[in-house]
Amino acid sequence: MNWTTWESRFRRFLDEEADPPADPVHDRAHTERVVRMARRLARAEGANLAVVIPAAWLHDCAQAPKDTPGRRTASAEAARRATVFLEETDYPTEHLDAIGHAIEAHSFSAGVAPRTLEARVVQDADRLDALGAVGIARCFAVGGALGHALYDPDEPLPRERTPDDDQFAVDHFFEKLLSLAGQMQTGTGHAIAEERTAFMRDYLDQFEREVSGDTPAPEERLTNHDQRLTK
């Protein structure tokens, strides 16, 4: 498989025929990160790249805004459009059903269970992009686009109250993001997710300290750092 040629075709299709991004975080940069991660997971898990690579490139070719009725069916529409495109470009037909399934099953909103290793790889690759440093940035980008407040000033993190990510961007960590590691479908994906989730938990601890005015002054941080070095 000449991936240079095929990936050029996938990019052209996205430029010319795919839906525009439904929000700031489902753009071309997201797609390219998913492709890179999907390739990494596929190689580690022994998945078929002939299914994984086109599915990763085309998984968001149909999109709908968050919290709209079309969100749940967008991945099925993406699978349909991708299959038509691949048929028209003479992609090997024996892979089309598996590619379509991987695209449909990637979506959290659709709730379609992945039946193949390749679908599990693509789903993990997409969800890993919601975790770690990039995941934090994406979370707040979406919250800002939807006009949500950063946090509840009365209880910045939902320790006692029920999380509500329709009002507060940071609550999305507690409604969804912190649980994603436990939903990973591959061993490699799970290991990466655990590492990225730990980073997010550290971030939330720092976030809570800052909004409460509890962060140490610069000289205190230096003193604490020096004390750790001498222990």
CB–CB of 148/169 below 8 Å? yes
Specify whether 134 is located in the same domain as 194. Answer: yes
What is the torsional sign of CA 93, 12, 109, 208? positive
Specify whether 110 is located in the same domain as 135. Answer: no
38 domain-assigned: yes
pLDDT score, position 231: 43
Specify whether 1 is located in the same domain as 100. Answer: yes
95 domain-assigned: yes
> Residue 168: what are its φ and ψ, rounded to 5°?
-125, 125
Residue type (1 letter), 43: R
7 domain-assigned: yes
pLDDT score, position 52: 99
| Domain end marker among 116, 147, 182 | 116
Residue type (1 letter), 133: A
| DSSP letters spanning 12-35 | HHHHHTSPPPSSTTSSHHHHHHHH
Specify whether 145 is located in the same domain as 89. Answer: no
Task: Kindly report the CATH number assigned to the domain that includes residue 220.
Answer: 1.10.3210.50
| Domain end marker among 116, 142, 175 | 116
User: Which one, of 215, 204, 208, lies nearest residue 172 by Cα?
Assistant: 204
Token pair 């470009």 is found at: 89
pLDDT score, position 219: 58
Task: Kindly report the CATH number assigned to the domain that includes residue 31.
Answer: 1.10.472
Per-residue pLDDT of the chain (231 residues; tens, 9 = 90+): 889 999 999 999 999 999 998 889 999 999 999 999 999 999 999 999 999 999 999 999 999 887 777 788 899 999 999 999 999 999 999 999 999 999 999 987 778 899 999 999 999 999 999 999 999 999 999 999 999 999 999 999 999 999 999 999 999 999 999 999 999 999 999 999 999 999 999 999 999 999 999 866 665 544 443 444 344
Residue 80: which residues within 8 A CB-CB, separation 6 or more? 62, 100
Name the residue range of residue 209's domain: 130-231
121 domain-assigned: no
Residue 104: which residues within 8 A CB-CB, separation 6 or more? 75, 76, 78, 79, 110, 112
pLDDT score, position 105: 95
Specify whether 148 is located in the same domain as 218. Answer: yes
Specify whether 106 is located in the same domain as 137. Answer: no
- C-alpha 44/C-alpha 52 separation (Å) is 13
177 domain-assigned: yes
Specify whether 3 is located in the same domain as 111. Answer: yes
- C-alpha 16/C-alpha 106 separation (Å) is 23
Specify whether 88 is located in the same domain as 176. Answer: no
Q: What is the per-residue pLDDT across 91-147, written as a single tens digit (0 to 9) for each?
A: 999 999 999 999 999 987 778 899 999 999 999 999 999 999 999 999 999 999 999
Q: Provide the phi-psi class of 90: left if phi over 0, else alpha when psi is between -120 and 50, else beta.
A: left
Helices 74-88 and 96-105, axial angle in degrees (round to 10) = 160
Q: Provide the phi-psi class of 205: left if phi over 0, else alpha when psi is between -120 and 50, else beta.
A: alpha
| Structural domains counted in the chain | 2
pLDDT score, position 198: 98
Specify whether 14 is located in the same domain as 86. Answer: yes
Specify whether 14 is located in the same domain as 111. Answer: yes
Specify whether 90 is located in the same domain as 23. Answer: yes
| DSSP letters spanning 80-147 | HHHHHHHHHTT--GGGHHHHHHHHHHT-TTTTPPP-SHHHHHHHHHHHHTTSHHHHHHHHHHHHHHTT
Token pair belonging to 157: 């993190």
| Domain end marker among 116, 144, 166 | 116
pLDDT score, position 220: 53
14 domain-assigned: yes
